[in-house]
Structure 1
């Protein structure tokens, strides 16, 4: 447990870039993605040993399946966040978002749809399912979002540049 996880993540990212020329997010070694405000991340060494850095004030109680106070796509987004950040299970988060967007997307506000699409774009890139990205990107581009909402979407994922073709800067 540490007081702040962001400096540790930045140090590991810099070391990985220095050693490998890029940040490795799959295979061994690797580091999990870190979104601003997240309370944990993990580093996996070449032998498969995992070290998880957890912010000291991280909530101790999690509602797996998404917060019961939320409904529809908002609850799906919360569940996917837990799967990614606390369980490090990108595949399960991908499945939850894909299914949740199909079930609840039409009734959800545009910003929730955009958050789900942005996460799916990032996850499909990380999981090697890049053939799915253009369709989700086109859907993201078609949503009526304000400049503030576009910034919110960009800040919701660890690699905002992934969204540039579909969510350009104003």
Structure 2
């Protein structure tokens, strides 16, 4: 007998969740409004149930689940395209939102997706047989990038990410201290801009991205081509 696990997630209302997942390419497998709101969505091997709960606050939700995939880049691209087509843009701050696609130091490539009910889907692809957290780099800027990604993209602790990245950028601005490579500086700036955007500070994000666009062009192109900065807040074309 084959077993199957279907996550049961909560939401404040069924309709916005149904619309959101439909935009991502999910089929509405079941939907009811009485005696309580209930929704089932399916896409390939992903199946999710949602229960509407009166008074539930999506902004304080800690519900979620892990979705493993063999091609996280394809899902990311398809999800962004679907949201952009359905709603005109991709939400990258507040609820709902789509986080950055990022390689993390415990051997996974992933992005976080928060739906209108506040549920966080960790959509991940293993990229290493070793799933243990790697030791942090001893080099100042490599360590800051690693910690910034961990806080921003895995733990969703944006204030902690901002603190780590601001400290590294302060060191980078001091000519008498350590100097980051052009690639490191661009990645620090874009990661910090992404955090600022997700915190609602569009002005700071724009300033950081403008600064990133003035860094050595070769380094910027290398980062863009490698996909290291595949974030909703894109690096401006220079």
Instruction: Specify the TM-score bucket, using the shorter chain as the normaliser.
Output: 0.7 to 0.9
Query: Which has the larger share of helix?
Result: 1
Q: Is the contact between residue 32 and residue 41 of structure 1 (CA under 8 Å) also seen in structure 2?
A: yes
Q: C-alpha distance in 1, partners of 2:167/2:78?
A: 36
Counterpart of 2:179 in structure 1 is 108
Q: Is the contact between residue 148 and residue 162 of structure 2 (CA under 8 Å) also seen in structure 1?
A: yes
Counterpart of 1:130 in structure 2 is 202
Q: Are 1:14 and 2:81 matched, yes or no? A: yes
Structure 1, unaligned stretches of length 5 or more?
A: none
Deviates more, 1:33-42 or 1:71-80: 33-42
Q: Is the contact between residue 92 and residue 232 of structure 2 (CA under 8 Å) also seen in structure 1?
A: no
**Alignment TM-score, normalising by the size of structure 1:** 0.75
Q: Is the contact between residue 72 and residue 108 of structure 1 (CA under 8 Å) also seen in structure 2?
A: no
Offset at 1:76? 0.8
**Matches for 1:16-165 after TM superposition, within 5 Å:** 16-35=83-102, 39-58=109-128, 59-63=130-134, 67-103=135-171, 105-106=173-174, 107-111=178-182, 112-133=184-205, 135-137=207-209, 139-140=211-212, 143=215, 145-147=216-218, 149-154=219-224, 155-159=227-231, 162-164=234-236
Offset at 1:98? 0.6
Deviates more, 1:152-161 or 1:39-48: 152-161
Q: C-alpha distance in 2, partners of 1:95/1:40?
A: 23
Counterpart of 2:9 in structure 1 is none
Offset at 1:80? 0.9
Offset at 1:146? 5.0
Q: Is the contact between residue 118 and residue 153 of structure 1 (CA under 8 Å) also seen in structure 2?
A: no
Offset at 1:96? 0.9
Structure 2, unaligned stretches of length 5 or more?
A: 1-67
Q: C-alpha distance in 2, partners of 1:36/1:69?
A: 15
Give aligned pairs, total: 161
Offset at 1:131? 3.0
Q: Secondary structure at the match of 2:220?
A: helix
Give the superposed CA RMSD.
2.9
